[in-house]
Structures are given as structure tokens and as C-alpha cells.
């Protein structure tokens, strides 16, 4: 049973000096380990990626952009309260929330929470060259998250402009350093343009315009989708068995055109990063739930492991989504997903992936293990023995799936 898998089986020693604290000066000069479908591995440089992709490939990447999600308010008596914006509550749509003029509310983590039991926090700032009084009020608290309402007095200014002016890029906690000015650029992919993530889809950080052009020049189509990465991506699995680990929910958006193209099955889909993998694989299970009449707007964590998860075929499931959109006159499939991909999972859409080297005991390592039929350890042993850099700003890996 998938739920009985023990997380200790996905542990490995990761020396602190192998965690990349900063990216290389040239994004695409990082190392690239290729693991072929037969289990063999070879060492490359990321600039070689275009030539390593199969000619019938289609590259799919996540276009999400990391927002300045970390806000710091100072109380009159001197205490600093950190508010980490996770996802919009009212309005719930990301784009609409960012465009608000005067008020919006978000689910947030609150740092130094004990020093903010009640009352309104306030700061004076300049956004888009205009003075603004910006306020935060905690409306409710559930678990370790709070609903925070933000208000501001200059209604010519949007929420996006405010957080761009005073917020910080929330780099991963395992980097063990403060955000620096360089992270504003380094921690964004070159193709990011849809605001919403609190963490970068880091496999995409290696791409440059030059590499992307070479991929297109080889006749390999490039497509994009959106998954807004939540803070849960940093959460290690603390339970002994993965069945006791609760996955976080993340927003996804995929165009009807891409879903239709995937349904045709004429390309080998190479996903850039685990976020793209989770989005693409969630589509199959969303379509299956639509067909069964059980679609509630979110792919549940354990949806892939039910008795009904082996039918229908991928084409039928994806067509169910396009029919669903057609019936509503919509061109984008918007949903959320809690899917967990672990050994025992059957991949339906993704035939290859570009990814980084992940933390021990993480759900991302479970996903890689599932793709390699449990053969992840030789890949990581090779990377450790050959000087590869790990985690967000580290080196890359190309995993080839079965034909």
C-alpha cells in the first residue's frame, strides 16, 4: 500500500556544503545529470539539454512568478511582525486580488505572532512614486495560518504595487540566509509572468533565452501552464508513514488548447520541474472525476490510488476536461490540486522531466522515486560522488521515461 511507505526509505546524507546557497553566474552553465530509461546515467552541462531531448518531445513549463510575499511591519513599541502571504481569500482570484485598489485579504503565516494578539499594524510607504498608508488586521486564525485583511488609503495604487515596493522575495529556509537584492532576479525563471507563487519552480531557473531558442530551433514545441507554488513545498514529511502526511493545496491553470494538444498524444511530454509534473498528472485525475460526476474543483491527495484510478484512458480523461470547458464557454481549466505522487503511482501524461536534486525525506523525492520505478538512489549517489550542487540553486537532472 502506498500509504504504508515509510519516509525513512527516502532519506540520504546531504552535507551542508552541497546545498547551493547562490546560483551560478551563468544560469545554463550548471551541471546536468541525465538518467536514461534503462537506468544508466551520464554527466552533461545544461547547455546540452536541447540536443538531449527526443525529437518528438514537447517541453512544458510553469510560468508562475514569485511574489514579494514576505511583509515586515514594526509595532510602535519596536516588535517586528512578519506576514507571509500564501494565497488570496477575498477576492479569491490571484489576478483580481493583485489588481485591488484599497482592500484585499489573504491567508498568511504570521511570524512573532505572540506580539500581535489584536489591533491593526500600519506602515508608511511609497509605491509607484506615491505615498501610501498600508494596514494589516488579523481577522481569524486556524492552525498555523491566519486570515489577514490588508487596506490602504491611496486607491490609485494596487496591491501588486504595494508588495512590489515593500515586500521581500521569500527564498527557501534551507538556504540559511536573508534575501538579497540579487534574489529578485535569480529566483525567477526567465519565462515567469503570472504572479502568485511564494517559491520558484526551481528546475526552470537553469533556462536561458539561448537554450529556449535552441529547443525551438530543433522543432520542439514549448508550452506553458500555471501552478502557484505554496509554502507547503518546503514542508518535510514529519510522519513516519506517508499516509499520515497531509499535502497542501495549490492553484493550477491550464489552457484548453494545451489540454487538447496533450489529448492528441503526438508528443513525448517533458515537464520542467515537479510543479509542472503535478499539474499535468492532476489533469488526468480531474478528467476522471469529471467523467464520474465527482468533480468538486480539486484533485484530492489520494485520488490516484483508488480502485477506479485505472480507467479511463488518458485521451478520454483529457477530452472530458475540454468538454467541461466547452459546456461553460471557458478557455482555461482552473482548479486546485493536493495530489501526492509516490512509488506505486502510474504516470499518465509525463514521459520525461527536468528537475533539481531534492531534500531528503521530501514529497518531491517521492515523486522522483515514482518516476524512476524506485531507482532514485543511484542517481543521487552519482550526484553526491561527482560534485553536483543540491536544492533550489543547485544543478539539474534530466529523467527519461519509458517510450
Average pLDDT over residues 122-131: 95
Domains of the chain, with CATH numbers?
2-65+187-400 (3.40.1780.10), 70-167 (no CATH)
Strand partners, 103: 151
Q: Which long-range contacts (CB under 8 A, 24 or more apart) does 217-221 make?
A: 217/50, 218/50, 218/51, 218/53, 218/55, 219/55, 220/50, 220/53, 220/55, 220/57, 220/58, 220/59, 221/58, 221/59, 221/267
Q: pLDDT (tens digit, 9 = 90+) per residue, 138-186? A: 999 988 899 999 999 999 999 999 999 999 999 998 999 999 999 999 9
- Specify the range with the lowest mean pLDDT, choosing from 135-144, 208-217, 264-273: 135-144
| 308 pLDDT more than 80 | no
Return phi, psi of residue 334, to 5°: -115, 130
Based on C-alpha coordinates, what's the Rg of the chain?
21
Q: pLDDT (tens digit, 9 = 90+) per residue, 1-36? A: 899 999 999 999 999 999 999 999 999 999 999 999
Q: At what angle do helices 256-264 and 314-328 cross, to 10 degrees?
A: 150
Average pLDDT over residues 268-277: 98
Grid cell digits, residue 45 = 552541462
Query: Would you place residue 118 in the very low, low, confident or very high pLDDT band (cuts 50, 70, 90)?
Result: confident
DSSP state of 6: B
| 363 pLDDT more than 70 | yes
Q: pLDDT (tens digit, 9 = 90+) per residue, 370-380? A: 999 999 999 99
Average pLDDT over residues 105-131: 93
Q: What is the strand order of the sheet 70-74 is part of?
A: 70-74, 80-90, 103-111, 145-152, 130-142, 120-127
Grid cell digits, residue 301 = 491527495
| 348 pLDDT more than 90 | yes
CA atoms within 13 A on the CB side of 387: 5
| 232 pLDDT more than 80 | no
Q: Residue 35 in contact with residue 397, Cβ under 8 Å? A: yes
Please report the pLDDT score of residue 156 as a whole number: 94
Q: Residue 59 in contact with residue 45, Cβ under 8 Å? A: no
Q: Is 322 helix (H, G, I), strand (E, B) or coil?
A: helix
Please report the pLDDT score of residue 26 as a whole number: 97
Q: pLDDT (tens digit, 9 = 90+) per residue, 85-94? A: 999 999 999 9
Quote the CA–CA distance of 193 and 98 in Å, as a whole number. 13
- Pick the residue with more confidence: 259 or 237? 259
Residue with cell 485525475: 285
Average pLDDT over residues 191-203: 96
Residue with cell 539539474: 396
Mean of the per-residue pLDDT values of the chain: 95
Grid cell digits, residue 245 = 502526511
Grid cell digits, residue 183 = 534574489
Quote the CA–CA distance of 372 and 397 in Å, as a whole number. 12
Quote the CA–CA distance of 172 and 99 in Å, as a whole number. 27
| 194 pLDDT more than 70 | yes
Please report the pLDDT score of residue 234 as a whole number: 66
Amino acid at each position: 500500500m502506498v500509504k504504508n511507505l515509510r519516509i525513512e526509505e527516502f532519506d540520504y546524507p546531504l552535507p551542508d556544503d552541497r546545498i547551493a546557497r547562490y546560483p551560478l553566474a551563468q544560469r545554463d552553465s550548471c551541471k546536468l545529470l541525465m538518467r536514461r530509461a534503462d537506468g544508466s546515467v551520464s554527466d552533461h552541462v545544461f547547455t546540452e539539454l536541447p540536443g538531449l531531448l527526443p525529437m518528438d518531445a514537447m517541453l512544458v513549463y510553469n510560468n508562475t512568478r514569485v511574489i514579494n510575499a514576505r511583509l515586515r511591519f514594526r509595532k510602535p513599541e519596536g516588535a517586528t511582525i512578519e506576514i507571509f502571504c500564501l494565497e488570496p481569500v477575498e477576492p479569491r482570484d490571484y489576478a483580481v486580488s493583485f489588481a485591488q485598489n484599497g482592500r484585499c485579504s489573504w491567508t498568511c503565516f504570521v511570524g512573532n505572532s505572540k506580539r500581535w494578539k489584536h489591533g491593526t499594524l500600519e506602515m508608511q510607504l511609497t509605491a509607484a512614486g506615491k505615498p501610501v498608508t498600508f494596514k494589516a488586521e488579523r481577522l481569524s486564525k486556524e492552525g498555523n495560518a491566519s486570515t489577514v485583511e490588508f487596506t490602504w488609503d491611496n486607491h490609485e495604487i494596487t496591491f501588486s504595487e504595494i508588495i512590489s515596493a515593500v515586500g521581500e522575495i521569500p527564498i527557501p529556509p534551507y538556504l540559511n540566509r536573508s534575501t538579497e537584492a540579487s534574489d529578485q532576479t535569480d529566483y525567477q525563471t526567465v519565462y515567469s509572468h503570472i504572479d502568485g507563487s511564494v517559491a520558484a519552480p526551481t528546475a526552470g531557473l537553469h533556462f536561458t533565452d539561448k537554450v529556449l531558442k535552441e529547443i525551438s530551433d530543433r522543432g520542439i514545441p514549448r508550452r506553458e501552464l500555471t501552478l502557484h507554488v505554496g509554502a507547503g513545498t518546503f514542508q518535510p514529511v514529519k510522519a513516519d508513514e506517508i499516509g499520515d502526511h497531509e499535502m497542501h493545496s495549490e492553484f493550477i491553470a491550464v489552457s484548453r488548447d494545451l489540454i487538447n494538444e496533450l489529448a492528441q498524444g503526438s508528443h513525448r511530454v517533458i515537464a520542467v520541474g515537479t510543479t509542472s509534473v503535478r499539474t499535468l498528472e492532476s489533469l488526468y485525475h480531474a478528467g476522471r472525476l469529471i467523467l464520474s460526476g465527482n468533480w468538486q474543483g480539486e484533485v484530492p491527495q489520494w485520488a490516484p490510488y483508488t480502485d477506479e484510478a485505472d480507467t479511463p484512458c488518458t485521451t478520454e480523461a483529457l477530452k472530458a476536461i475540454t468538454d467541461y470547458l466547452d459546456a461553460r464557454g471557458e478557455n482555461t481549466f482552473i482548479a486546485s490540486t493536493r495530489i501526492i505522487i509516490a512509488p506505486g503511482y502510474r504516470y499518465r501524461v509525463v514521459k520525461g522531466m527536468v528537475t533539481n536534486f531534492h531534500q531528503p525525506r521530501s514529497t518531491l523525492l517521492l515523486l522522483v522515486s515514482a518516476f524512476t520505478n524506485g531507482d532514485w538512489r543511484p542517481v543521487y549517489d552519482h550526484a553526491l560522488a561527482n560534485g553536483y550542487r543540491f536544492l533550489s540553486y543547485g544543478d539539474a537532472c534530466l529523467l527519461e521515461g519509458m517510450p
